[in-house]
């Protein structure tokens, strides 16, 4: 396939695929990642931690999909229901012909609940895994004969590096799934500022945010009875083993998830069942029985708490949609 544009740091853009005339593919340069160093720094000394991004190897991604089907894990279901009920109101509030940009689009499943109503000028999914990005984008152009897709293969964690070739016009950034809840407060603010910069002065952001609620509901959601969240949490050790030549035995740990009311977050940890020595990159580390490795925080916001965070990043609330129990929220925010 011909390359249109290949310059230092500029990334590449391909003309439409012959069989998919409305699909353009852009690849952005990726900064070198020191995943090994990051993991070893987090694991060598207590308090030990593994960043949640390491959950998502191919098995972890499948386990996450299964989590979203568990009866106790309400966020995906409640958010989907909000899209189903309010897609027309959302589209009316947003207005037609927006350039719709979704960082971390994955299988682009959620955006489908909005596409027909929104009728964007084009859809721009950003996804680090090229096979997911291309598979989902091809499906979309086949399913929606009026839709143009600019698929961008990029890591969005350090800013939205968008190709210059995107169509002009007002933008709608789309960040569903309460993924913002997995950012620590300062990185969350920084990330919202990246989104603010990417949406321009006449743009908006539509974002899904899980809300603070009774601890029993939250704790059940992260301790499903079928043990899928436990398997998801323990699987991170297999991924770490591959990345740092480690010999973690997941059977020697237990999944542990609870609500920390002081910091308003569900915490996930892996607790060592025994005194053990694990070897990582040829170095032994001693882990005592009962010691924990912190693997994830999932922050639960109040409506006002999230609006304050968004305000700080340069967004003004336009509309908010919530379910009756106030378990989950969708925020439409305008750039200021
Ligand atoms: C992806 N993220 C919003 C999920 C959450 O609820 O924080 C990840 C997850 N971890 C355990 N279950 C789901």
For 134-179, give the DSSP string: HHHHHHHHHH-TT--EEEEE---TT-----TTSPPS-EEEEE-TTG
Atom of ligand 1 nearest to the CA of 179: 3
pLDDT recorded at residue 19: 72
Token pair, residue 47, equals 């308090």
pLDDT recorded at residue 2: 29
Give the SS3 label for residue 121.
Answer: coil
∠ Cα 93 167 155 (to 5°): 90
27 lines ligand 1 (CB under 6 A): no
138: exposed, middle or buried (Cβ count in 10 Å: 0-12, 13-18, 19+): middle
pLDDT recorded at residue 302: 98
pLDDT recorded at residue 7: 34
* Cα(231) to centroid(ligand 1), Å: 13
Ranges of the chain with pLDDT below 70? 1-9
CB 30 within 8 A of CB 38: no
Give the global pTM. Answer: 0.95
Alpha-carbon span 332 to 39, nearest angstrom: 36
- Ligand 1 pocket: which of 50, 60, 64 to mutate (most atoms <8 Å of CB)? 64
DSSP state letter for 235? H
Strand-pair partners of 328: 210
* Cα(15) to centroid(ligand 1), Å: 36
Token pair, residue 77, equals 């279901």
Alpha-carbon span 198 to 204, nearest angstrom: 10
Cis geometry, peptide bond prior to residue 47 (ω within 30 degrees of 0): yes
178 lines ligand 1 (CB under 6 A): yes
Nearest CA to ligand 1 atom 6: 298
Atom of ligand 1 nearest to the CA of 178: 3
């Amino acid at each position: 396939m011909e390359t249109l544009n290949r310059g230092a740091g500029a990334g590449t853009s391909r003309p439409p695929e012959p069989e998919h005339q409305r699909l353009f593919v852009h690849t952005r340069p990726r900064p070198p990642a020191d995943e090994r160093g990051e993991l070893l720094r987090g694991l060598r000394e207590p308090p030990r931690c593994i960043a949640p991004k390491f959950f998502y190897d191919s098995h972890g991604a499948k386990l996450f999909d299964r989590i979203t089907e568990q009866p106790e894990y309400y966020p995906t279901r409640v958010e989907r229901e909000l899209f189903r009920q309010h897609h027309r109101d959302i589209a009316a509030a947003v207005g037609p012909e927006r350039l719709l940009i979704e960082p971390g689009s994955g299988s682009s499943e959620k955006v489908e609940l909005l596409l027909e109503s929104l009728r964007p000028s084009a859809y721009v999914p950003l996804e680090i895994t090229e096979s997911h990005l291309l598979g989902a984008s091809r499906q979309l152009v086949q399913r929606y004969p009026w839709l143009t897709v600019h698929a961008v293969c990029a890591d969005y964690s350090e800013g939205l590096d968008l190709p210059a070739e995107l169509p002009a016009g007002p933008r709608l950034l789309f960040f569903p799934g309460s993924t913002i809840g997995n950012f620590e407060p300062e990185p969350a603010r920084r990330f919202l500022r990246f989104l603010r910069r990417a949406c321009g002065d006449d743009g908006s952001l539509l974002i899904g945010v899980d809300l603070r609620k009774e601890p029993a509901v939250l704790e059940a959601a992260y301790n499903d009875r079928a043990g899928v969240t436990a398997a998801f949490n323990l699987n991170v050790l297999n991924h770490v083993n591959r990345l740092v030549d480690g010999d973690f035995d997941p059977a020697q740990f237990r999944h542990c998830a609870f609500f920390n009311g002081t910091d308003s977050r569900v915490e996930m940890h892996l607790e060592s069942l025994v005194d053990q020595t694990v070897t990582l990159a040829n170095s032994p580390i001693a882990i005592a029985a009962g010691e924990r490795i912190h693997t994830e925080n999932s922050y639960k916001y109040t409506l006002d708490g999230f609006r304050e965070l968004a305000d700080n990043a340069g967004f003004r609330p336009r509309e908010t949609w919530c379910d009756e129990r106030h378990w989950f929220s969708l925020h439409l925010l305008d750039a200021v």
